[in-house]
Chains A and B, each alone.
Chain A
Amino acid sequence: MSVLLQVKNLRTTFPSASGPMPVVDDISFDLARGEVLALVGESGSGKSMTALSILRLVPKPGKVSSGSVLLAGEDLLRLPVTEMRRVRGARIAMIFQEPMTSLNPVVAVGAQVMEAIQLHDPINKVDARSRARALFAEVGIPDPEARLDAYPHHLSGGLKQRVMIAMALSMRPEILIADEPTTALDVTVQAQILTLLRNLQRERGTAILLITHDLGIVNELADRVAVMYAGRLVEVAERKALLSNPLHPYTQGLLKSIPSRTPAGERLPEIPGVVPSPDQWPTGCRFSTRCPLCFEPCETIQPEEIEDSAGRRVWCHEVERSMDAESSS
């Protein structure tokens, strides 16, 4: 598969009293055409900031301080503002976590979708409306004609999220960034939205950057998984390899703490402690303060990237040591 989006050494910082504080630190990953890449991590690990950095929508006073984001070879971080506006929505679209607040409460939803359509494509209102109707039907909104004139408060959360997806798909983007698309929805609706996303990805070949902290969703939808911790990547792997054989101690901890994997009656394993805030990140491996396998170099030296022949990447001193031991024996 050809690489569509290439994020290289992306670093996003917020100013603080002690100088610029990186919330996204030296992140690199690729997204292939039609692929679903899940970006996984705890709250505050920098997943959403990575997505916003790609679209250059980092809220002030934060800014992308270095790195590059290549969309089909073109660096988005160096595009003029007006060109960037044409990329947003038309080539990379984003759906947000909260469908309740992501729609303008005083504008009919049909008009909002039509706005998205007419923004990038100069067609008249009648055509835009029929296109919006078709989109509504495609994302599974019942009675699309009547729903076009509904206001957000007339719709349920699931329907609103479908409207958001319709809006995001209106320009047939190559990449869809879904920032926790199902977090605010209840479980049955979650399943429907996931099925919808998967079908859309298959039918349209849209690449999806899925941001989530729910490993169930990862299992359901993702082709590859990138695990983030405290602003850095710790492991990038194919879904199956990662879920069955996690290498990084953080990934292992995450997988162990899934309730269904623990026999009933036993205490659920957890990762001790909380994610440190950016001003308390250790100089070495970010996970060293909570890592059960932490040894001498971890606290002071950042682990280097280790890549195996299958393209699996991991950043961990312990993995490096055991691999060295294997190869020398």
Chain B
Amino acid sequence: MMGLEAHVFSNAVTVVLLVGAGVLVAVVRRQRLWREAAHQLWDRRKLAIIVVGLYLGVALLDSIAWKGGIPEDVLDVLPNAPLTLIDRIFLGTKEASYSAPFADVEFYGAAPLRQPGSHLLGTDILGRDVFYLALKGARVALLIGGLTSLIAIPLALLFGVGAGYFGGRFDDFVFFLISTLASMPGLLLLIALIMAMGRDTLSVCVALGVTSWVGFCRLSRAETLKLRELDFVSAARALGVPEIRIVIRHILPNLAHLIVITFVLMFSGLVLSEVVLSWLGIGVDGSWGQMIDGARNELSREPVIWWNIAAAGSALFVLILAVNIVGDGIRDVLDPRMQKGSP
């Protein structure tokens, strides 16, 4: 299935994610507490939210692919390849070699430019439009940050909340697990996992997820230990609420602010660690990390090929900055200690 119809699968995943986001928005809109928090966040961090939204939009346009509709004269893609909207916009922009931003003459005496002056950020050594590559990187970055968080956070919650609430043997087991993982060098474990599972996006996400849940697991365990001693948990027990229901209805909602904050902060950390993986040669294809890695050597040319690394670097920088600013805003809005009228 993954082989032939990969684009159908990834289209389906995109649709599922969109529906999930829709449900999330509906839930947030129904709960006054969250609705107010969302409004406050928008008021405080408009620009950063818009920037993150732009990245999301680009990634979305780059996520739905379909076949056909490729003009006969385009030779740089297979005639039956599934292409996304972004791919289609930049169809036929491939040059034979380098082009500087807005350059209208060829570089290094290679073949004359097919579309002089049209490359906003120039082209790379293979003649691919750098702006196009930078846009394509958005999807990979969001996938790595988002998907990995979606793997790591539920894992951390399952172990952390379970250990904190039920204690006993399960707590011992989780702590054993945490200590074992913490005693291994994270990067080596990551490399070993990727070597074992392969280098496709999903494998890298799983590997990153497995190695990055420990911190939040500790945090959620500690927070649960605190929450389960609170009176409203005793009150729920005195009303005859089953233990599992107490966890779902009373513990998890009280962890929600931590979950949201952790998600956002984890996200930027994960995107950055993919760059490190790319530098080590085990990154995800099409990521900004690989662009940066590939452009490293080009810096020593004369004249300097700077636009390549600059484009990937600034795309990465702007995304991380915006996400961190939004994350900071979310923390301000949600952290109970920052709110007035709560203990």
Residues of A within 8 A of B (CB): 55, 57, 85-90, 93-94, 96-98, 100-108, 115-116, 119-120, 149, 151, 153, 164, 167-168
Chain B, 11-46, contact with A by CB distance < 8 Å: what is the 0/1 string?
A: 000000000000000000000110000000000000
Q: Are A57 and B240 in contact (CB under 8 A)?
A: no
In the complex with contacts A96-B231, A151-B32, A153-B341, A104-B250 CB distance below 8 A: yes
CB-based A-B contact count at 8 angstroms: 72
Closest residue on chain A to residue B31 by CB atoms: A108
Q: Which residues of A contact B234 (CB under 8 A)?
A: 57, 96, 102
Task: Tell me if B235 and A164 are in contact (CB < 8 A).
Answer: yes
Q: Judge whether B342 is part of the interface by a CB distance below 8 angstroms.
A: yes
User: Does any Cβ of A come within 8 Å of B77's Cβ?
Assistant: no
Cα distance, A254 to B341, chains bound together (Å): 38
Residue from B232, B249, B253, B336 whose CB has the most chain A CB atoms within 10 Å: B232
In the bound assembly, the distance between CA atoms of A120 and B241 in angstroms comes to 9
Inter-chain contact A115/B240, CB cutoff 8 Å: no
Would you give 29 A-B contacts (Cβ < 8 Å), ordered by A? Answer: A57-B234, A88-B238, A88-B239, A89-B238, A89-B241, A90-B240, A93-B238, A93-B239, A94-B238, A96-B231, A96-B234, A98-B231, A101-B232, A103-B232, A104-B236, A104-B249, A104-B253, A105-B336, A106-B33, A106-B253, A106-B254, A107-B253, A115-B241, A116-B239, A119-B239, A119-B240, A164-B235, A167-B235, A167-B239
When distances are taken between beta carbons in the complex, the residues of chain B under 8 Å from A100 are 343
Shortest CB-to-CB span from A131 to chain B, Å, is: 15
**What residues on B are CB-neighbors of A94 within 8 Å?**
235, 238
Give the residue of A86, A101, A103 whose beta carbon is less than 8 angstroms from that of B240: A86
**What residues of B have a CB within 8 angstroms of the CB of A153 in the complex?**
341-342
Tell me whether B239 and A101 are in contact (CB under 8 A): no
Chain A minimum-CB-distance residue to B249: A115
Contact A149 B32 (CB under 8 A): yes
Of A86, A90, A96, A120, most buried by chain B (CB within 10 Å of CB) is: A96
Pair A104/B239 contact, Cβ less than 8 Å: no
**Residues of chain A contacted by B299 (CB below 8 angstroms):** none
Which B residue sits closest to A104, measured CB to CB? Answer: B232
Query: With a CB–CB cut-off of 8 A, which chain B residues contact A120?
Result: 240
B218-239 interface code vs A (CB 8 A; 1 in, 0 out): 0000000000001110111111
In the assembled complex, the CB of A54 is this many whole angstroms from the nearest CB of chain B, namely 10
A85 nearest in chain B by CB position:
B240
Chain B residue numbers with a CB within 8 Å of A102 are: 231-232, 234-235
Across the interface, name the chain B residue whose C-beta is closest to A98.
Answer: B231
Give the shortest distance, in Å, between B244 (CB) and chain A (any CB): 12
Contacts of A164 in B (CB 8 A): 235
The complex places the Cα of A97 from the Cα of B250 at a distance, in Å, of 19
Name the residue on B nearest A115 (C-beta). Answer: B249
Additional A-B contacts beyond A104-B249, A108-B32, A164-B235 (5; CB < 8 A): A101-B232, A105-B254, A106-B254, A115-B241, A120-B240
Q: Does B185 touch A at the CB level, under 8 Å?
A: no
Complex: chain A residue closest to B32, CB-CB: A149
B103 to chain A minimum Cβ distance, whole angstroms, is 57
Min distance, Cβ A89 to any Cβ of chain B, angstroms:
4
Q: Which of B235, B242, B342 has the most CB of A within 10 A?
A: B235
Chain B residues within 8 Å of A116, by CB: 239
Partner among A86, A90, A101, A107 whose Cβ is within 8 Å of the Cβ of B249: A107
Residues of B within 8 A of A89 (CB): 238-241
| Residues of chain A within 8 A of B341, CB atoms compared | 153
Q: Across the interface, which residues of A come within 8 angstroms of B254, CB to CB?
A: 104-106
| Docked CA distance A153–B32 (Å) | 13
4 tightest CB-CB pairs across the interface, nearest first? A88-B240, A89-B239, A89-B240, A94-B238
Inter-chain contacts of A167 with B (CB < 8 A): 235, 239
* Chain B residue contacts of A57, Cβ below 8 A: 234, 237-238
Residues of the B chain whose Cβ atoms lie less than 8 Å from the Cβ of A87: 240
Closest chain A residue, CB of each to CB of B341 = A153
Contacts of B253 in A (CB 8 A): 104, 106-107
